[in-house]
């Protein structure tokens, strides 16, 4: 029996579906081993721990500023931390990580009696951390994980030293190469009053 036009359409559709299945199977093996994401997070831990929000260390080290500290009120703020996070997946459960972060902290000083503005100071904090990640769940659409980072941080006011981040809960969502990120943890990238802080981001898988 001579094939009809409808039969030809059906055969073509089946061939297209088979080709798509092959490509999808290949993508399952290749997409996701390497990934990079950019994100913004809440107030870093050193904003809570460092008296004077790291800027104050300069004043404590210089005696001429001690009297000024006692006679003024400091109002400080930070805009959170902006970071780039790269990962290389090792098997289904583990990944190695590299994170580069930046945050800026500002402080305005006012006379404690008159509330008159005195001056402003600012500190730029850079960090570079390496770490490891364990995936509790790792599917093509959803990844749940915990991570630990360690490394160094550098600031304008010599508040340098050891840096760390513990991601207690992380969630990557998205089936294709582009994915979203939601994390909660504590450390030099993000923390919070309770004390968990969050990080939101978007990434790309290679």
Q: CA separation (Å) from 70 to 16, 105, 110, 113?
A: 76, 21, 11, 11
Q: CA-to-CA distance for 127 and 113, rounded, in angstroms?
A: 38
- Confidence bin at 157 (pLDDT 50/70/90): confident
Question: Is residue 61 a contact partner of residue 69, using CB atoms and an 8 Å limit?
Answer: no
pLDDT in tens, 164-174: 999 999 999 99
pLDDT in tens, 49-79: 553 433 444 444 444 444 455 567 777 777 7
Question: Is residue 156 a contact partner of residue 55, using CB atoms and an 8 Å limit?
Answer: no
Residue keyed to tokens 């980072």 = 149
Q: Structure pTM?
A: 0.73
Question: Is residue 68 a contact partner of residue 22, using CB atoms and an 8 Å limit?
Answer: no
State the average pLDDT for the chain.
77
């Amino acid at each position: 029996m001579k094939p009809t036009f409808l039969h030809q359409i059906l055969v073509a559709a089946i061939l297209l579906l088979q080709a798509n299945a092959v490509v999808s199977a290949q993508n399952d093996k290749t997409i996701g081993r390497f990934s990079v994401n950019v994100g913004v997070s809440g107030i870093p831990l050193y904003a809570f721990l460092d008296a004077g929000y790291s800027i104050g260390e300069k004043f404590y080290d210089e005696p001429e500023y001690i009297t000024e500290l006692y006679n003024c009120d400091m109002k400080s703020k930070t805009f959170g931390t902006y970071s780039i996070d790269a990962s290389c997946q090792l098997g289904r459960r583990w990944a190695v990580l590299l994170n580069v972060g930046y945050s800026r902290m500002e402080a305005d000083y006012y006379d404690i009696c008159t509330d008159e503005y005195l001056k402003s100071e600012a500190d730029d904090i850079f960090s570079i951390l390496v770490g490891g990640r364990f995936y509790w769940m790792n599917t093509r659409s959803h990844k749940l994980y915990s991570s630990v980072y360690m490394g160094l941080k550098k600031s304008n006011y010599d508040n340098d030293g050891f840096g760390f981040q513990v991601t207690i809960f992380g969630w990557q969502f998205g089936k294709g190469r582009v994915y979203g990120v939601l994390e909660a943890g504590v450390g030099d990238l993000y923390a919070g009053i309770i004390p968990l802080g969050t990080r939101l981001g978007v990434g790309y898988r290679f």
